[in-house]
Amino acid sequence: MTQKTITKEQAKRFLLLKQGLLGKKKFKSKQGAYEYIRQAGCIQYDPIDVCGKNAELALQSRVEGFKNTDLEELLYQDRKLVDYY
């Protein structure tokens, strides 16, 4: 097997792109929130709200047009996501 080497800059860029934190937002609205969570594998859902719920803050920074109600709908109405601990 051939070993490939990447630079730290390439690794950093890859991780930021994968997390949706570099470039234009490619995820949009409620469906985009669902697609991002599927891509990421999971997000931490914590109902404590000091300055915003953690999951909502994470999605707002990555999903264009995300509304706080989108996550609740995906979890408890659409049942596309699972809330577990």
Q: What percent of the chain has pLDDT over 90?
A: 65
- pLDDT single digits (tens) 52-81: 889 999 999 999 999 999 999 999 999 999
Instruction: Give the whole-angstrom CA distance, residue 2 versus residue 24.
Output: 33
Residue 8 belongs to some domain of the structure: no
Instruction: Give the whole-angstrom CA distance, residue 46 versus residue 85.
Output: 10
Instruction: Give the whole-angstrom CA distance, residue 1 versus residue 4.
Output: 10
For the entire predicted model, the pTM comes to 0.78
Structural domain boundaries, residue 58: 42-85
Cβ-contact 70, 54 below 8 angstroms: no
Query: Total structural domains in the chain?
Result: 1
Residue 37 belongs to some domain of the structure: no
> What is the three-class DSSP state of 33?
helix
pLDDT exceeds 90 at position 24? no
Q: How confident is the model at residue 31 (pLDDT cuts 50, 70, 90)?
A: very high
**Residues 24-50: what's their mean pLDDT?**
90
Residue 22 belongs to some domain of the structure: no
Residue 25 belongs to some domain of the structure: no
Which pairs from 65-68 meet CB under 8 Å and 24+ separation? 65/28, 65/29, 65/32, 66/29, 66/30, 66/32, 66/33, 67/29, 67/30
- pLDDT single digits (tens) 37-47: 999 988 988 88
Residue 4 belongs to some domain of the structure: no
